[in-house]
Amino acid sequence: MSNHPRTGSPRTATLTAAVIFAAAAQLYAVGAPGAAAVVETAKKPLTGAQILAASAPSDWRPLDPHNTLYMELPTGRVIIELAPQFAPHHAANLEALAREGYFDGLWIMRAQDNYVVQWGDPDAKKAIHKAQRTLPAEFERPLRDLTLTRLPDPDTYAPVTGFVEDFPAAADPSVGRAWLTHCYGMVGAGRDNDVDSGGGTELYVVIGQAPRHLDRNITLLGRVVQGMDLLAVMPRGSGAMGFYEHPAERTVIKSVRVAADVPESERTQLEVLRTDTPTFAAYLEARRNRREEWFKVPAGRIDVCNLSVPSRLRASAAAPK
Amino acid sequence: MSNHPRTGSPRTATLTAAVIFAAAAQLYAVGAPGAAAVVETAKKPLTGAQILAASAPSDWRPLDPHNTLYMELPTGRVIIELAPQFAPHHAANLEALAREGYFDGLWIMRAQDNYVVQWGDPDAKKAIHKAQRTLPAEFERPLRDLTLTRLPDPDTYAPVTGFVEDFPAAADPSVGRAWLTHCYGMVGAGRDNDVDSGGGTELYVVIGQAPRHLDRNITLLGRVVQGMDLLAVMPRGSGAMGFYEHPAERTVIKSVRVAADVPESERTQLEVLRTDTPTFAAYLEARRNRREEWFKVPAGRIDVCNLSVPSRLRASAAAPK
């Protein structure tokens, strides 16, 4: 098996915490000229995979089952983490929609290549009981209300980018506003021309190059933490904007449930790397400057949409109870 | 059919050339502060779709059949335009491989979500006759040898980005070098750790967020102009780095042919928008600041990987001969 672009060594290593913290400490130099040179002076900089392998349990945060949705497709489970930090009313409405079974039996009805996969009710007729059909837009939030781990590199679209917990975000400190960014796997609430015409009854997920021109134009409300491999392979629709022209082309949604409502034994125990830790800082630097042997010219930079915050099954989930 | 993020109006319009040139003329202000305001003063700025609908035949360039490959999959034809401007030896070798039938009966053997789909000989055993198995890397070219249509916006990874004909590219004028960028649909030659271990016997295509950290680390040699919808839906492989673990999971390649070797009646008559025209300048501006009613906050910027140069079937191809 030869001749392929590689993503990093699948090997893991057992390393001491001291080594990790040394790697993380270098990070405080990033953004300054010569940062790459500082990293190169380390005896043996760790790769991203090595940093994760040596992380502490406290570097990880379990998904909150009250902010997590399971969408069950015929091919498996898609796990969506909601972002109430940015879209509290949409997140609450999504939970209400899930709890009244709104999505059960509806369909994935659109797949536009290098853009979005979308699901909901193609006829917009299904009754809604306690949830809302539309909500005021939630495009931005006050930056002061959020803890943003900033990236040191320039971005085409925004003055500042980074992560709020594990969500990719951008901000304009000059006006004190922050917003989620349309990276691969981000989930939003479709709308019509009226900015307040969305609400979550139709959802889309980004399946290609980040359509950042949608930022602040439509409400993002979460991200797919597991299951993008199921959504991204949906056959592209032949209709305008990738809509399926024939009902038989749609994929049925078996159910959408709030994880907290699913028996614990049936939950997927995922955890995500905390982005406010030295381990994340070290990981970020290892992704800005790849240390695997395959790489010859380290980029020295990273786009916010090129760093997917790592997630994994919790170790305890694999142990007998 | 409501509540969806839109990509632009599918409507077209008949417009005079004067209107188009007026729109293009505004473009000379881009990059300067207030450029967006200049555009807003136009009576009725055209959308991207309107600009393309009103383009002149001379704004388009037919694909050169000598630089075009047809990869026939069970689901249809993938059309790859080679980039001899950047990788002359790889492009020539790809044509030699195609002409000796190297790829015929081989497989798509890897699909890693949000990264690449890859094809070739999983056992690296198939005989090669006149073509080369490996070639020296072609990562960069002298900028002076290329005509680069520059984008006005900042890029995370490179000092300058833009297009060389329809290929997305980056450059560092301070050292006089240019290179192709790893945007969605770009095709490269897989390699091992040795930079000169590629050559084109294994090819990959980008199917997700642009992995720009691969730029200048591996030889890009072309782009998929048609058929990404067939490649991007390949089931993701469950093996390391998305390789298929069982041969039955692979998709067979019926054939790869140089378009010039295919009878003209069986060719797909594609043409691409010329990027050195006022029409492209107007189209670029319409993509930087979306004018469709749906958009509320124009981005005012665009990433080189967010502007796919338009292609279409040649009008003459639809007419009887």
DSSP labels, B284-295: HHHHHS--STT-
A73 touching B (Cβ < 8 Å): no
Is residue B70 pLDDT above 90, yes or no?
yes
CA dihedral A143, A149, A154, A157 (to 10 degrees): -40
User: Is position B321 within any domain?
Assistant: no
- CATH of residue B134's domain is 2.40.100.10
Minimum-distance CB partner of A113 among B183, B229, B293 = B229
Pick from A18-32, A136-150, B119-133, B286-300: least confident: A18-32
Please give the pLDDT value at position B315. 77
A266: Cα separation from own chain's centroid: 22
**pLDDT band for position B317 (50/70/90)?**
low
Q: CA–CA separation, B188 vs B93, rounded Å?
A: 13
Please check whether residue A65 is in contact with residue A259, taking contact to mean a CB–CB distance below 8 angstroms.
yes
User: Is position A126 within any domain?
Assistant: yes
Which A positions 124-183 lie with beta carbon below 8 A of chain B?
124, 139, 153-157, 183
Chain A residues with CB inside 8 Å of B1's CB? 122, 243
Residues A254 and A298 in one domain: no
Residues A133 and A80 in one domain: yes
Residues shown for chain A: 321
DSSP secondary structure code for residue A285 in this structure:
H
Element counts in chain B: helices (H) and strands (E): 7, 17
What is the per-residue pLDDT across A238-263, written as a single tens digit (0 to 9) for each? 999 999 999 999 999 999 999 999 99
Is residue B7 pLDDT above 60, yes or no?
no
Residues B109 and B184 in one domain: yes
H or E element, residue A162: strand A160-164
Domain count, chain A: 2
Q: Is B277 helix (H, G, I), strand (E, B) or coil?
A: coil
Please give the pLDDT value at position A154. 97
Chain A, nearest residue to B125 by Cα: A1
Pick from A86-90, A133-137, B20-24, B248-252: least confident: B20-24
Judge residue A217's burial from the number of C-beta atoms within 10 Å of its C-beta, 0-12 exposed, 13-18 middle, 19 or more buried: buried
Which B positions 247-286 lie with beta carbon below 8 A of chain A?
none
User: Is position A215 within any domain?
Assistant: yes
Chain B, nearest residue to A205 by Cα: B5
Q: How many CB atoms lie within 10 A of CB B116?
A: 27
Cβ contact (<8 Å) for B299 and A233?
A: no
CA dihedral B86, B88, B91, B96 (to 10 degrees): -170
Sheet containing A160-164: order of strands:
A141-142, A177-180, A167-172, A160-164, A148-150
Question: Tokens representing A23?
Answer: 């790697």
Q: Is the dihedral of CA A204, A210, A213, A216 positive or negative?
A: positive
User: How far off is chain B from A291, nearest CA to CA, in Å?
Assistant: 12
Question: Tokens representing A255?
Answer: 């159910």
**pLDDT band for position B5 (50/70/90)?**
low
Residues A144 and A245 in one domain: yes
User: How far off is chain B from A2, nearest CA to CA, in Å?
Assistant: 6
Please check whether residue A42 is in contact with residue A301, taking contact to mean a CB–CB distance below 8 angstroms.
no
Q: Over range A5-13, report the average pLDDT.
A: 33
- To the nearest whole percent, how much of chain A has pLDDT over 70? 85
Residues A183 and A312 in one domain: no
Q: Is A109 helix (H, G, I), strand (E, B) or coil?
A: strand
| Closest to A239 in 3D by CA, of A121, A110, A120 | A110
Judge residue B269's burial from the number of C-beta atoms within 10 Å of its C-beta, 0-12 exposed, 13-18 middle, 19 or more buried: middle
What is the per-residue pLDDT across B80-113, written as a single tens digit (0 to 9) for each? 999 999 999 999 999 999 999 999 999 999 999 9
| Closest to B304 in 3D by CA, of A209, A227, A191 | A209
Q: Is B259 helix (H, G, I), strand (E, B) or coil?
A: helix
Residues B258 and B198 in one domain: yes
User: Is position B46 within any domain?
Assistant: yes
User: How far off is chain A from B37, nearest CA to CA, in Å?
Assistant: 17
Q: Over range A143-166, report the average pLDDT.
A: 98
H or E element, residue B17: helix B17-26
Return mean pLDDT, chain A. 88
Minimum-distance CB partner of A211 among B232, B298, B306 = B306
Higher pLDDT, B183 or A15: B183
| Closest to B169 in 3D by CA, of B142, B192, B189 | B142
User: Is position B157 within any domain?
Assistant: yes
Please give the pLDDT value at position A44. 75
**pLDDT band for position A24 (50/70/90)?**
very low
Residues A221 and A288 in one domain: no
Chain A residues with CB inside 8 Å of B208's CB? 184, 207-209, 232
Residues A115 and A249 in one domain: yes
Domain end, chosen from B249, B264, B279, is at B264
User: Is position B299 within any domain?
Assistant: yes
**pLDDT band for position B31 (50/70/90)?**
very low
Higher pLDDT, B291 or B62: B62
Q: Tell me the HSE value of A242 on the side-chain side, using a 13 A CA sphere.
A: 23
Q: Over range B127-152, report the average pLDDT.
A: 97
Residues B236 and B277 in one domain: no
Please give the pLDDT value at position B44. 76
| Closest to B256 in 3D by CA, of B43, B88, B96, B149 | B96
B76 touching A (Cβ < 8 Å): no
Instruction: Please give the ipTM for the structure prediction.
Output: 0.87
Cβ contact (<8 Å) for B233 and A234?
A: yes
Is residue A274 pLDDT above 90, yes or no?
yes
User: Is position B250 within any domain?
Assistant: yes
Pick from A74-83, B41-50, B123-132: least confident: B41-50
| A51-69: burial string, b at 16+ Cβ within 10 Å, e else | bbebbeeebbbebebebbb
Q: CA–CA separation, B284 vs B203, rounded Å?
A: 30
Please check whether residue B53 is in contact with residue B23, taking contact to mean a CB–CB distance below 8 angstroms.
no
Please give the pLDDT value at position A7. 37
pTM of the model: 0.88
Q: CA–CA separation, A163 vs A275, rounded Å?
A: 7
Residues A34 and A150 in one domain: no
User: How far off is chain B from A59, nearest CA to CA, in Å?
Assistant: 25
Higher pLDDT, A85 or A124: A85
Q: CA–CA separation, A124 vs A243, rounded Å?
A: 14
What is the per-residue pLDDT across A197-247, written as a single tens digit (0 to 9) for each? 999 999 999 999 999 999 999 999 999 999 999 999 999 999 999 999 999
Chain A, nearest residue to B240 by Cα: A10
Please give the pLDDT value at position A315. 77
Is residue B30 pLDDT above 70, yes or no?
no
Residues A203 and A288 in one domain: no
Residues A34 and A80 in one domain: no
Domain limits for position A193: 65-267
Please give the pLDDT value at position B28. 31
Chain A, nearest residue to B111 by Cα: A229
| Closest to A184 in 3D by CA, of A165, A163, A210 | A210
Please check whether residue B131 is in contact with residue B192, taking contact to mean a CB–CB distance below 8 angstroms.
no
User: Is position B244 within any domain?
Assistant: yes
Beta-strand runs (E) in B227-287? 251-252, 255-258, 270-273
Please check whether residue B106 is in contact with residue B123, taking contact to mean a CB–CB distance below 8 angstroms.
no
